[in-house]
Amino acid sequence: MVTQNDWNVELYLKFRNERTQPSIDLVSGISVESPKSIIDIGCGPGNSTQVLAGRWPAAGITGLDNSPSMIERAKKDYPSQEWILADVMDVDSSVKYDIVFSNATIQWIPDHKQLIDAMWKLVNDNGALAVQMPLYNAMPVCGAVERAASGRWPQLDSVMEIFTFHEPGYYYDVLSFLSEKVNMWVTDYLHIMDSHKSILEMTKSAGLKPYMDRLKSEDDKHEFESEVLRNIKEAYPAQENRRVIFPFKRLFFIAYK
């Protein structure tokens, strides 16, 4: 999931509301009665896990992430819950869960067919697999970053290969072989940002991270960020009150066993 350096948890949580709302929407779409066990794959600092705990307080909920800093923060903020530092592909498939949940994580993992198969093996009978992923590649901010990276820093040429994205039909085809009931939808969130710099900061804490990891000098990082910010200003016009609307597209799917 992560590339070279660990995540900046404080920067990530600066946009807690924008990052948590998709979890709320995904949880609200799950139709599983009284689940006893839930795993949150790619739980980050635990913000999505709390949405699950809020809806199903009697369930045993496990948060899993391969980022030490994220798990450390989750343990600090929510010490009574179970947190595991591990990669999803290493999870023991003999342990089953009524809900296997993953919010804004799978885009960091290659081979989505293998990944979905692995997560499906964790789902109990009468349970559900529920996933949300940001369609970062379909948003202007991705183009803003890629234009800034193009040509000047050769080490950034292949960064987009870190991400994995497919069209909704791909996921339906994979899921339809596993489940007779699949729900899918796409939501465009319209985040009202204080400034163009806020878009840069939100992107820096996620999609921009692998680019920054590959730039070693502070001068290069500063120059790259400045170029990304210029491109963001071109892609997203400011409103009359100088705030900026930042559309953010996300894909959701839920499959029932």
Query: Which of the 8 DSSP states describes residue 238?
Result: B
- Mean pLDDT of successive 10-residue segments in the chain (257 residues)? 62 82 96 96 94 96 94 95 93 94 95 96 97 96 94 89 96 97 97 96 90 93 95 98 97 98
- State residue 92's pLDDT score: 87
Closest C-alpha to 256, from 24, 29, 23, 21: 29
Query: What's the token pair of residue 232?
Result: 């963001």
Give, in order, the Cα–Cα distances in Å from 134 to each of 18, 51, 125, 175.
Answer: 12, 18, 28, 18
pLDDT at 206: 87
Q: Does residue 1 fall inside a structural domain?
A: no
Provide the pLDDT for residue 243: 98
Residue 217 included in any domain: yes
Residues in the chain: 257
Domain membership of residue 2 (yes or no) is no
In a domain, 3, yes or no: no
Residues 6+ apart with CB under 8 A from 168: 184, 186, 251, 253
CATH number for the domain harbouring residue 168: 3.40.50.150
Q: What is the pLDDT of residue 4?
A: 46
The pLDDT value given to residue 152:
84
Bridge partners, 138 (sequence order): none
* Rounded distance between C-alpha atoms, residue 169 and residue 96, angstroms: 27
Q: Which of 220, 85, 117, 106 is nearest to 164 (CA)?
A: 106
Question: Which residues contact residue 22 at a Cβ distance below 8 angstroms, ignoring those fewer than 6 apart?
Answer: 103, 104, 132, 187, 189, 250, 252
Q: Is residue 157 part of a domain?
A: yes
- pLDDT at position 13 is 73
Query: Does any domain span residue 145?
Result: yes
> Does the residue 13 lie in any domain?
yes
Counting the structural domains of the chain, the total is: 1
The confidence score (pLDDT) of residue 61 equals 97
Torsion of CA 116, 120, 126, 128, to 10 degrees: -40
pLDDT of residue 151: 77
Give the structural domain span for 227. 9-256
Asked whether residue 4 is domain-assigned, the answer is no
